[in-house]
Amino acid sequence: LKQKFLPSDIAAPSTSEEATCLLNLAHVSRNIEETRRKLARQRARECLYLAQLYELQARNAEGRVNEADLDIGRATSAVRRGGSLTLPSSATALRRYGNRGMLIF
């Protein structure tokens, strides 16, 4: 029965020294497969954490979208009434939006 770790062009060992080399090869091959298994698990964990991060970012963005929708509604209402739009104070704007999108001239 041919072992999977042996390349197809390697014959069965004819000496104890060759057998020892093949045994060492089997150990190294096993270690490589163990490393591949660990790497696959770590990549899976990485994907899970990335998914969690994206979900958190989406929730944060959803809150900002809701605030922007309210602002659009306020502006639309002001335009329909033909009145003026009262913009939020600087403190309110900073609290809502942080420093995102602020232009400095």
Please report how the helices 90-97 and 16-81 are oriented relative to each other, as an axis angle in degrees rounded to 10: 150
Torsion sign over Cα 91, 96, 100, 102: negative
**pLDDT in the model for residue 105:** 39
31-56 residue pLDDT tens: 999 999 999 999 999 999 999 999 99
Percent of the chain scoring above 70 in pLDDT: 77
What are the extents of the domains in the chain? 16-77
Gap between the Cα atoms of 45 and 39, Å rounded: 10
> How far is Cα of residue 33 from the mean position of the Cα atoms in its chain?
25
